[in-house]
Amino acid sequence: MKVLVTGAGGFVGKALCKRLETADHIEVIGAVRTLPSQPYGACSLVAVGDIDGHTDWSQALAGVSVVLHLAARAHVLNEQSRDPREEFRRVNVEGALALFQQAIDCGLKRFVFISSIGVVGGSTEGKPFTETMPPAPHADYAHSKYEAEEALKALSKSSGVELVIVRPPLVYAAHAPGNFARLLKLVALGVPLPFGSVMNQRSMVALENLVDFITLCVRHPAAAGETFHVSDDEDVSLPQMLKLLGRGMGRNVLLLPVPTGLMALGAQLLGKKNLYTQLCGSLQVDSTKSRSLLGWQPPISAEIALLQAGASFSRSQKHDA
């Protein structure tokens, strides 16, 4: 079986290609924007350039029966575009549809689309997100993912190609980008942190767990036509997360009990309200369906994954020093 992984040079894509190379009877093709100076393991790479509605996927799709579409325009920390929503649409919607349509002509059997839990919303209050909840995308990125989901469902229905949608929450590892990278750097500083009063609950998914689940979706017959939420075996609070990362680094993390209302006000005044919500708010995901329908179990617990992330980050800092 030949499997195409788009976004093969990304944080999740590299790990997924490496995981698929260990699976039986799978040949992995990785689509990247430009060819790197060093290969990613045994994965064969194909350069496709920028992704949009005009991307030519013909070389990458030759002989492919399953596409794992990870490539996307994700959260941009320093947005420079005059029209961010349209930029997200160009890559995440138009790019995904062009790939799917070209893949149909190449005899594609299954298309696995990596979406986002943001399609359902940005935070929860006591009730975790399930796959049956109505969509409520909260940002341009999430809106583009939801639009892509709906358009891909229509193409799947008309073409007969099996569609699998995977909605992960925050994906983490020692080399993760975004907010998780910020937390690792904060813990590594060894300074007191003002999060002692935070009592949130957040679902996340370790990189190892996510790539294991995606690999299962390549072949599992029950995955066809389904949408899945995928997360670790347990939710954690921000203080728990910071302490586990600290333990992995060999550090004691001192958390000051700063009132959350005061932090929220400060974040709003500084224009960082979204960042405060992402770190201190709750976002819980019910991933029961992925376990019950596919029989999936996370290979690694959240506690061990966070300890390992802290330890690995600490080693990398010492190596770079």
CA-CA distance, 240 to 300, in Å (whole number)?
A: 17
Reduce the secondary structure of 7-46 to three states and give it as a string.
CCCCHHHHHHHHHHCCCCCCEEEEEECCCCCCCCCCCEEE
- Residue partners of 182: CB distance under 8 A and separation at least 6: none
Q: Where are the alpha helices (DSSP H) in 68-177?
A: 84-88, 95-105, 140-159
Distances (CA, A) of 32 to 56, 75, 240: 12, 19, 36
Annotated active-site residue 40? The verdict is: no
Say if residues 192 and 256 touch (Cβ distance below 8 Å). yes
Give the pair of three-digit tokens for residue 139: 């940002």
Distances (CA, A) of 242 to 68, 151, 174, 253: 32, 39, 13, 7
Q: DSSP states of 213-258 as a string?
A: HHHHHHH-GGGTT-EEE---SS-B-HHHHHHHHHHHHT-PPPB---
Q: Which of 141, 146, 172, 276 is catalytic?
A: 141
Active site (catalytic) residues:
141
